[in-house]
């Protein structure tokens, strides 16, 4: 079984992804803090990344979407659906964690401005809350 893992920048957690589930582990104790099943479109065991501020986890899905979740609980915040297939080669958060940047296989750079997205969602009372 293939496992992908991503340590958070704060060093407190490691997120893992298999074709069946996601887990967030507390480093040191190796206790599972959260666990949730992979959806059918997430079962190809793709990549996972955490934001530089260790508050967000981004996962990709076979349908081309990216899912943002809160760390460490894994609560789904938003599903980002690109207007067209991106064929992502690499993706990462900006240093301030306000942008999700995707580099496609043909070298195109695409980004989601998460801060602006949150401002627009807040106008509709749909902004996500991150507990800390």
User: How high is the pLDDT of residue 110?
Assistant: 84
Q: In terms of residue numbers, what domain contains 70?
A: 4-123
Is there a domain that residue 128 lies in?
Answer: no
CATH classification at residue 114 = 2.130.10.10
Pick the range with the lowest mean pLDDT from 57-61, 89-93, 98-102. Answer: 89-93
Mean pLDDT of the chain: 87
- Other Cβ atoms less than 10 A from the Cβ of 10: the count is 13
Rounded Cα distance, 48 and 96, in Å: 18
Residue 109 reports pLDDT greater than 90: no
User: How high is the pLDDT of residue 45?
Assistant: 61
Tokens of 132: 């800390």
Q: Find all residues with CB under 8 Å of 109, minimum gap 6, and list them.
A: 101, 102, 103
Residue 76 reports pLDDT greater than 60: yes
* Per-residue confidence band for 130, with pLDDT thresholds at 50, 70 and 90: low
Bond from prior residue into 62 cis (ω within 30 degrees of 0): no
């Amino acid at each position: 079984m293939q496992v992908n893992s991503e340590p958070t920048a704060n060093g407190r957690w490691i997120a893992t992804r298999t074709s069946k589930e996601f887990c967030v582990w507390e480093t040191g104790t190796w206790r599972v803090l959260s666990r949730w099943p992979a959806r059918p479109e997430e079962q190809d065991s793709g990549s996972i990344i955490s934001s530089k501020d260790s508050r967000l986890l981004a996962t990709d899905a076979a349908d081309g979407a990216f899912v943002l979740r809160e760390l460490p609980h894994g609560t789904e915040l938003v599903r980002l659906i690109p207007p067209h297939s991106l064929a992502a080669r690499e993706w990462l958060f900006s240093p301030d964690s306000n942008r999700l940047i995707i580099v496609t296989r043909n070298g195109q750079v695409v980004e989601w401005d998460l801060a602006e997205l949150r401002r627009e969602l807040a106008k509709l009372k749909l902004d996500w809350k991150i507990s800390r």
